[in-house]
Structure 1
């Protein structure tokens, strides 16, 4: 089963935020979407999750026409396509365990949801998700008392509770320090590898995209200007995505670096491509 964007466009009045985007993403791929602020990355993810509707074009997941879903069918898709936000979107006054359990709402009856009644199995599942992310000791703390990195891990645990077929992460490490950024990206890669879940994440750092993603989509001005594996992200591709500075020089890649990974041994072909892109 694959995910497909076909000529997807989103307009806000006279402004076109996403312009005629096409892409086919096989099940189980980890994709990084990169580009400057305002390139259309967040709008694209919000359309995939249907938090925003496309102005035109088609969004499909297998035989499912996502772009035309309404009512319960749309709620089911938003359950199956979990969204992780830069600002976490937790309920600060509720404890961590309850925040994670909220990921089950679209799996339950309205009555149980209103009464906030969760089964023993769901609670065990939530604790297991927290243990997987190394924060089970925070289960009874108010979510608002946690650090940013811990809150993002709670948000990932909540997404796991949805038992999704696809995970979208909108700048999940933008507000985190390098160590917590690495922990969060490791968690997303683990979900992708162990469950075979498709992960699409917006990133603002080239080194992170290269280190974690099998495929990189570069956007500029709402359009896809690069789509390929990390080793093909050459200096020419970087210029297409990020442009040049006021002097006409190519972007210094260190400006986008979070340095969240220790140096790793890379194939010669990738090393040469990366050397060109610096």
Structure 2
């Protein structure tokens, strides 16, 4: 259980997040929606401890993560993976190395500095790239990939942390509709297949309705809606986006896409789970060596 108790964040006189109270059970897929400046990104950054709250507490399974320091905080950064809008890859490094960087919080300082990764970690990285459909680019510099491919590499890197919670901060904001669908499919697959809690900030109502079992709406730093997609009425949507008249349409935030079956990306492969699949990963590793 992720518990947010009266969390507030101030930047000088400005209040970015205002007395937020939330309980997010393990394994839930949650979408946080609202206008730019509603406090969505600030809230995720406080959960991950990239910034500290001005007031309130954030707890995970009863542990107050706002009080963590040193190695305990590094463990939380490992358990709570963050995916960013701008990918945050190292462009000059190849894709496989970028993914392996997700293991840094599992390793000693010396091993991290030396870039020492085990055979099992390399197989794990290749399997994750295979699952996300980008293994063919494993040896390319990350900066040469398309935006959608880079975001999938960023997801693979996050999964290398073996997290318990995945936070995604506007993961599709800079992507075209087709790549946005592939990325959201990937996050939904991680949530359903691996049982990992996924909390993602989204601008678009149709995306939140399609992928999230629970939608949290923020306006001017406060939570003003918390419910299922079916409970998000047109009136609630207008309130979220600060529109007072009947002229508001959800199509204004839409990223919906109609594509022929042969244009859609191939489904993600399962992670290696038996001898045949492990052998496939090992063959990939030898081919990339």
TM-score, normalised by the number of residues in structure 2: 0.88
* 2:45 pairs with 1:46: yes
Map 1:263-278 to 2 at 5 A. none
User: Which residue of 2 is the match for residue 275 of structure 1?
Assistant: none
* Structure 2 CA distance for aligned equivalents of residues 194 and 140 of structure 1: 27
| Residue 261 (structure 1) shift | 6.2
In structure 1, how many angstroms separate the alpha carbons of the residues matched to 2:256 and 2:98? 31
Higher mean displacement: 70-79 or 14-23: 70-79
The 4+ residue runs of structure 1 with deviation greater than 3 A are: none
Q: Which runs of 5+ in 1 are unaligned?
A: 263-278
Distance 2:106 2:68 in 1: 18
1:156 matched to 2:155: yes
Tell me by how many angstroms 1:228 deviates. 0.3
Equivalent in 237, 243, 248 of residue 251 of structure 1 = 248
Matched, 1:203 2:202: yes
Alignment correspondent of 1:183 = 182
Structure 1 CA distance for aligned equivalents of residues 36 and 248 of structure 2:
15
> C-alpha distance in 1, partners of 2:219/2:168?
19
Structure 1 position 179, deviation (Å):
0.7
* 1:42 alignment partner, SS class: helix
The yes-or-no answer on 1:68 pairing with 2:67 is yes
Secondary structure at the counterpart of residue 21 of structure 2: strand
1:127 aligned residue: 126
Asked if the contact 1:171/1:203 (under 8 Å) is kept, the reply is yes
Instruction: Give the Å deviation of 1:251.
Output: 2.0
| Shift in Å, 1:260 | 3.7
Task: Please give the alpha-carbon distance, in whole angstroms, between the structure 2 residues aligned to 1:48 and 1:261.
Answer: 35
Which residue of structure 2 aligns with residue 269 of structure 1? none
How much does 1:250 deviate?
4.4
Q: Distance in 2 between matches of 1:99 and 1:115?
A: 15
| 3-state secondary structure, aligned to 2:87 | coil
Instruction: Tell me the TM-score normalized by structure 1.
Output: 0.92
- In 2, the alpha carbon distance for the partners of 1:187 and 1:83 equals 15
Please state how far the C-alpha of 1:158 moved relative to its aligned partner.
Answer: 0.2
Find the counterpart in structure 2 of residue 144 from structure 1. 143
Between the aligned partners of 1:111 and 1:83, the Cα distance in structure 2 is: 24
| 2-structure distance, mates of 1:196, 1:72 | 26
Task: Answer whether contact 1:45 1:168 (CA < 8 A) is retained.
Answer: yes
Q: Are 2:21 and 1:22 aligned?
A: yes
How well do the aligned residues superpose, as a CA RMSD in angstroms? Answer: 1.0
C-alpha spacing 1:151/1:199, structure 2 compared with 1 (3 Å): same
CA deviations on 1:53-98 (whole Å, 9 max, x unpaired) are 0000010001211111111111110110000000000000000000
Question: For each residue in 1:26-76, what CA deviation from the matched residue of structure 2 results, as whole angstroms up to 9, or x when unmatched?
Answer: 000000000000000000000000001000001000121111111111111
Bigger mean CA deviation after superposition, 29-38 or 61-70 = 61-70
Secondary structure (helix, strand or coil) at the match of 1:175 reads: coil
